[in-house]
Amino acid sequence: MELAIGQTVQAELGQYSMKVRQKLGEGGQGEVYLVEGPNGRMVLKWYYAHQATEEQRAAIRDLVKIWPPLRGSPEAGRRFVWPSDLATVPDSKQFGYLMMEIDKKRFAELGEVQGRQKPQPTPKIMCEIGYQLSNSYRALHLAGYCYRDISMGNMVFDPQTGDVLICDNDNVGVNNAAQSAMLGTWDFMAPEVILGNAPPSTSSDQHSLAVLLFHLWMWHHPMHGDLECAIRSWDIPAKKRIYGEKPVFIFHPTDKTNNPNDPSYGTVRKRWDFCPPTLKALFIHAFTIGVQDPKRRVTEGEWQSVFLQLLEGALPCPSCRAENLWDAMRVDLTCWHCRQSIPVPGRLVVKTAATDFHMLLTPGLKIKAFHLDPITGRKDQTAVLGELVSNPLNPAQWGIRNLTASPWTLAFANGTTIPIPPQRAGPLTAGAHIRIDGCEIQIRS
């Protein structure tokens, strides 16, 4: 049953009516409409008759009950375009669910960016998109849920700010408990799901997230190389072989059978050359070890830690102003656009039990609470602990101002120490280090 323009649908929980204003599109599970009612405009996903099962109805009701999603992680929860109510019409077994309307002028699909319909995000903004995606799915998984259908079609982003929205959340379920007819999208599904060896789970979500992030950075699928190019009939057996039975990463460090040698794969080769080394290392792990062993996949926390690190390493080229990304695995930095050498400033290195976090000494640098715990992520973006300042008597001399309520201790390379009281600054000297909240911050040239 297709809904008619002007037809009324009823919100089950809110007990209000909404009128159908426009059909927006359709997909594998149902049709999407713009509807309007007492709360303004919303979007309605209306299931096809064969998809409108009692199991799906119960699943939507369960999701509506936990609205707003992820109360323990409000920043991540706001990114999910969650089902807010079940929608029905009289004398019909079909149903749907209501969700907020997305601003299509502001938010873009990745395909629109690749098709030059929307602006391409800068490298720094891609890091922000990557961070928000990994942070969102981390929060969902920590809450005990799995998404089941992570793909390019289920997320949009603002190319100017990197803000992300995650759509089509009606297949979210309790990890390793809830059943679903949705196994995922073929080219994003984990091998064990494709082969029928395991149901969708947080582990298979981790594989799908890695594929999505690879698409974001490379505009290409990680398994589409010479093996895929040689296939003449792209049918179900072919997909099963490439994605499930014999998934070989196109940039596998030792197995070259699926390298992207075809001329049509020039874009992915160029984008891989530009990719920062730490991000390359995670992709290689995700699509070699992680493909074979679900227990050793790249975690959401590892992704977000790398993207937070790369955000701190954005540097403009002094010759052409193109934005470049430095990371700790680079000995030096060459502009991806004009190939000129880029001077790399000194840096602060936060030593934690989990990782070393590097911050380049650039004007405007602020030490924030999340820098001391990059795996957990940005719990509080407003908590600024310190800032880079210049000496008013000697602008070439930089220091760090203590913006906390507790004194710090600055230890120099020769062993001498000085206190840095709140609202005072200590000089930056190579080899020195500062203790903040139990973390050691080293100063390197």
84 and 126 co-located in one domain: no
pLDDT the model gives residue 357: 85
pLDDT the model gives residue 179: 58
254 and 202 co-located in one domain: yes
Residue 74's identity, in one-letter code, is P
In-domain check, residue 314: no
Alpha carbon distance 437, 259 (integer Å): 47
261 and 114 co-located in one domain: yes
pLDDT the model gives residue 57: 94
Within the chain, which residues score under 50 in pLDDT? none
275 and 385 co-located in one domain: no
In-domain check, residue 270: yes
Domain count, the chain: 3
pLDDT the model gives residue 127: 97
121 and 42 co-located in one domain: no
Place of tokens 């080293």: 442
CA distances in angstroms from 342 to 278, 321, 329, 332, 380, listed in the order given:
19, 10, 15, 8, 32
In-domain check, residue 159: yes
193 and 250 co-located in one domain: yes
80 and 183 co-located in one domain: no
Q: Which of 99, 133, 159 is a domain's end point?
A: 99
- CATH number of residue 68's parent domain: 3.30.200.20
Alpha carbon distance 335, 321 (integer Å): 9
pLDDT the model gives residue 250: 98
Q: Which of 49, 73, 99 is a domain's end point?
A: 99
- pTM for this prediction: 0.91
Alpha carbon distance 239, 322 (integer Å): 38
Over residues 172-187, the pLDDT tens digits come to 988 866 555 567 899 9
14 and 163 co-located in one domain: no
286 and 149 co-located in one domain: yes
126 and 80 co-located in one domain: no
In-domain check, residue 329: no
In-domain check, residue 320: no
- CATH number of residue 395's parent domain: 2.60.200.20
Q: Which of 64, 99, 134 is a domain's end point?
A: 99
pLDDT the model gives residue 439: 82
In-domain check, residue 422: yes
pLDDT the model gives residue 32: 96
In-domain check, residue 14: yes
pLDDT the model gives residue 290: 97
In-domain check, residue 335: no
160 and 22 co-located in one domain: no
294 and 192 co-located in one domain: yes
- Domain of 204 in residue numbering reads as 110-305
pLDDT the model gives residue 1: 75
